[in-house]
Amino acid sequence: MSFTLAPFTVSPQETGFTLAKVLRARLGGPSWNDVRKLVVARRVKIGDAVCSDEARRLKEGEVVVLLEHPKPLPRTAHPERLVVRHLDEHVVVVEKPAGVNTVRHPAELEWSEQRRELDPTLEDLTQWAVAHQLARPARELARLRIVHRLDKETSGLVVFARSVLAERELGLQFRKHTVVRRYLTVVPGILSAQTIRSNLVADRGDGRRGSTKLPDVGKEAVTHVAVEERFTGYTLLSCRLETGRTHQIRIHLSEAGHPVCGDKVYAKRPGGDVVEDRSGAPRLALHATELGFEHPAGGEHLHWSMPLPGDLQKFVDGLRTGRGAPK
């Protein structure tokens, strides 16, 4: 049976109800089984993310979209295709593909293994890849411990702790800002090398995270920006994190007047003006290209780099030759 539904914003009356219940009402009362099939088939988005949990409780203001066709998982969202750069008893470092959440939403933590396979997170993929390499069932392995994460549409290097010791010691390194984290990103316009410092708050006044000028409010965020290459109308930047606040690079560059190409969240300035994105970026043009830290047990310095993945490399090549964005 075919279903169509225009995108809608969750109303106050629908707040707190499950996705399945609201969809069923909006669609005119199909069977519960038909509604579940739509969700499991990855045809429903909440905001920018596909939701495969029909029991997810909706919040007022969220935008729900019923897709005409199922949204496939990224090709690399498979444990046998996930690139594992380092594995030992304490840590595992992997190359995260874009389009995959680093960790699971709290409402999805009780999902069965079969259900997780329909919509895996990087945490799931990594545990399955480790199990494959060690030739052991994933359920027999100690759980992975989260010490940092990347946004869903960001690609790049991620480390998971595999022991209590590693979780503690890596957490300490992150808090002391000694972990090397460098990102590549593309922004419109000409931006010079600089260090951006601000205090970030959860709501800058328009419902978005952002910087505040109020004294003793928010958390300090420091981003060191260097220029890698300039194109006509665009700049390829290298951003080194001194701190690692949520969406830090995206916020700092947007507030500097140069939002990351492909960013649909921070393309709006605090005053409400939307920065038009004419770059043609295939997704959020942000990639975690470098990661380094002291091994939590042995103390040796470990370091990895990862070049731009194919989609962003093609985008940058187009800008370099003048074929990638309108003039």
- 3-state class of 231 per DSSP? strand
* Cα 32 to Cα 40: distance, rounded to the nearest angstrom: 12
**Cα dist from 33 to 6, 30, 36, 52, 64, whole Å:** 21, 8, 5, 14, 19
32-40 and 19-26 helices, crossing angle to 10°: 110
Strands in the chain per DSSP E = 8-9, 44-46, 49-50, 63-66, 83-87, 91-96, 145-146, 155-161, 180-188, 194-201, 210-212, 219-231, 234-241, 286-294, 301-305
**Cα dist from 225 to 73, 156, 170, 237, 238, whole Å:** 32, 18, 24, 7, 6
Q: Which residues contact 39 (CB under 8 A, 6 or more apart)?
A: 19, 20, 23, 51, 52, 53, 54
As annotated, the active-site residues are 151
Cβ atoms within 10 Å of 315's Cβ, excluding its own: 23
3-state SS of 286-310? EEEEEEEEECCCCCCEEEEECCCCH
* Beta carbons of 26 and 19 less than 8 angstroms apart: no
**Cα dist from 93 to 34, 59, 62, 287, whole Å:** 40, 35, 34, 15
* Beta carbons of 35 and 52 less than 8 angstroms apart: no
Cβ atoms within 10 Å of 122's Cβ, excluding its own: 24
* Cα 285 to Cα 154: distance, rounded to the nearest angstrom: 7
